[in-house]
Chain A
């Protein structure tokens, strides 16, 4: 089946530094990828929708200058948390849709990145 690889799985960084999270579709092309954030005991919150070759669409309340998304190829999207602060500590999850021709194709998710900002 379709596989989405997310890296790193866990990262600890100091306050003020930036962290990049990669999301790769390993065996399919993904024109659309989604980025989510999840706090403990809560559901996934959609942060942004990333379309290959164009700017990402951010959800209301998500700072686009803080959470930089780049979807430069059909198999890779990156999320960079800039100037991270402890309140950015969370579980970040990406997902990808398998085919642009099947608008209802299921999403495939990465295994998430646990970010801890000290």
Chain B
């Protein structure tokens, strides 16, 4: 069973920031928080991951709550190509199960 909960869908305007939330209240001390996204008819694509500290990369930023029970993926300026389903996953060794994810719609 997936150990994360995300809103089913979100909308954003192009060029605006997007904050995608994820709750993981049962996270254990060794679970990493991974984010992937999936465009239509493609396999998922790695976005970012973290353990305790906030993380930045060229695609996005990851803000992790102090108690680690929630996290937020931040797309600083959404583009039309960011429209996808975003999955937040708790990753520990070989356990990699997907929840329902958030379908992000980006409006021009």
Contact = CB atoms under 8 A, between A and B. Distances in A.
B97 A111 contact: no
Contact of A93 (B2, B43, B87): B43
B98 A108 contact: no
Contacts, number: 54
B34 interface: yes
Nearest to A104: B32
A93 B44 contact: yes
B49 interface: yes
A32 interface: yes
Interface in B70-94: 85, 87, 91, 93-94
Main secondary structure of the interface of B (DSSP, over half): loop
B1 to A, nearest CB: 11
Which of B32, B97, B99 is packed against the most chain A CB atoms within 10 Å? Answer: B97
A46 B97 contact: yes
Interface residues of A, number: 24
A77 interface: no
Contact of B49 (A6, A104, A112): A104
A109 B44 contact: yes
A44 interface: yes
A114 B44 CA distance: 15
A16 interface: no
Interface of B: 2, 32, 34, 36, 38, 41-46, 49, 51, 85, 87, 91, 93-94, 96-101
Q: Which 5 A-B pairs have the closest CB atoms?
A: A109-B43, A106-B46, A44-B98, A104-B32, A109-B44
8 contacts: A4-B43, A44-B44, A46-B96, A94-B43, A106-B49, A107-B44, A109-B46, A112-B41
